[in-house]
């Protein structure tokens, strides 16, 4: 059985010694075109933001690398 965690997700990237999730369902202020707010996470930072995630974190928007 495949574990659906960040370490096997195509949205998980290593940047400057951190692990960042760049899934379009995690957005600042307004969702990208075609992305529903219903199953997303909005972070209302006026100067930009992102999510640092661990390799064992899992989410409903996981997608195979």
Predicted TM-score (pTM) of the model is 0.76
3-state class (DSSP) for residue 8: helix
CA distance 48 to 28: 7
**What confidence score (pLDDT) does residue 1 get?**
45
What parts of the chain have a pLDDT lower than 50?
1
pLDDT at 2: 57
């Amino acid at each position: 059985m495949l574990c659906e965690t960040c370490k096997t997700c195509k949205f998980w990237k290593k940047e400057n010694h951190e692990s960042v999730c760049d899934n379009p369902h995690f957005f600042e202020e307004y969702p990208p075109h075609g992305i529903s707010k219903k199953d997303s996470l909005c972070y209302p930072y006026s100067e930009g933001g992102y999510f640092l995630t661990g390799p064992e974190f899992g989410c409903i928007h996981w997608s195979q690398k």
